[in-house]
Amino acid sequence: MKRSRLFLTLATCLSLCACATLPEDAFRLTESALELREMQSRVYEDVTDVEILSASSAVLQDLGYAIDEIEKELGVVSASKRADAKNEAEIVGKIALDIADCLLTFLLGCENHSYKSSKDVQDIKMTLVVTPDLDHERTHRVRLTMQRFVWDRGGELYEQETINDAAVYQAFFEKLSRSVFLEKENI
């Protein structure tokens, strides 16, 4: 009797949960998400998908990125590069921690390895997606997203973030505009 009552209660709870509806605005983008998408996107007219992918790849390589993958049919280019993640203030702090580590080791016989959490290298990953404008021939929207993964001296992930600096995106798209022009002119 207890099992059937438990089963009936559980079945009732599950059926009530299944009837729950999503709010009307559940899939609506926030204003900040729309602003971010606009910052990350540009429209290029009078260009083919091959020209825009070729120009994009050239810009990424000129900026020192290695092309990880190009999927022409989907209009996707992935690129990455490794760079130094250290800054001068952090290096001075690391030296101070190294000195403190040596003193602690000498005086107390213990080791302090807090300096291992200092930033060492960063991987910057860019993903570029080219989509055709279905209303206008030879018009494409290019969206670029950038992520940064910072590794500490011990090889552990220190931080990761999406790069949302408008100036960085603006500089990339200015270079891409010049590259598109050169690509169209076969220069």
Residue 39 is which amino acid? M
The answer to whether residues 132 and 150 touch, using CB atoms and an 8 Å cutoff, is no
Q: Which of 90, 84, 156, 93 is nearest to 123 (CA)?
A: 84
Distance CA 34, CA 25 (A): 15
Question: pLDDT per residue over 119-161, tens digit each?
Answer: 788 999 999 999 999 999 999 999 999 999 999 888 899 899 9
CATH of domain 43-86+119-184: 3.30.310.80
Question: pLDDT per residue over 7-53, tens digit each?
Answer: 556 555 555 555 556 666 656 657 778 889 999 999 999 999 999 99
SS (H, E, C) 43-92: EEECCCHHHHHHHHHHHHHHCCCEEEEEECCCCEEEEEEEEECCCHHHHH
The model's pTM? 0.69
